[in-house]
Amino acid sequence: MTPQSGEQSIRNKAGSRRGFLRKLNYFLTAERAISLISVLVILLFWWLSTSLKWVDPLFLPSPAAVWSAFVEIVQDGYKGNSLAYHIFQSMFRLAIALLLAVITAIPLGMLCGFSKQVRAALDPLIEFYRPLPPLAYYTLLVIWLGIENPSKIALLYLAAFAPLFLAVVSGVQRISLDRINGARSLGASGWQLFFYIVFPSVLPEIFTGLRTAIGVSYSTLVAAEMVAAVSGIGWMVLDASKFLRSDIIFVGIIIMGIIAILIDSGIRWMQKTQLPWIGYDS
Helix H or strand E segment including 160: helix 149-174
Contact 216, 163 (CB under 8 A): yes
pTM of the model: 0.80
Q: What is the pLDDT of residue 273?
A: 83
Q: What is the pLDDT of residue 183?
A: 81
Q: Please state the φ and ψ torsions of residue 242, each to the nearest 5 degrees.
A: -65, -25
Q: Which residues in the chain land under pLDDT 50?
A: 4, 282
User: 80-108: buried (b, 16+ CB within 10 Å) or exposed (e) per residue?
Assistant: eeebeebbbbbeebbebbbebbbeebbeb
Q: What is the pLDDT of residue 282?
A: 47
What does 179-232 look like in DSSP terms, one character per residue? HHHHHHHTT--THHHIIIIIHHHHHHHHHHHHHHHHHHHHHTHHHHTSSS---S
Contact 212, 164 (CB under 8 A): yes
Q: What is the pLDDT of residue 85?
A: 94
Q: What is the pLDDT of residue 33?
A: 77
Q: Distance (Å, rounded) from C-alpha 207 to C-alpha 70?
A: 33
Superfamily holding 69-274: MetI-like (1.10.3720.10)
Q: Where are the beta strands (DSSP E) in the chain?
A: none
pLDDT, tens digit, 9 for 90 and up, residues 139-195? 889 889 988 899 999 999 999 999 999 999 999 988 887 887 788 888 777 778 888
Q: What is the pLDDT of residue 212?
A: 92
Radius of gyration, CA atoms only, the chain: 25
Locate the domains of the chain by residue range.
3-54, 69-274
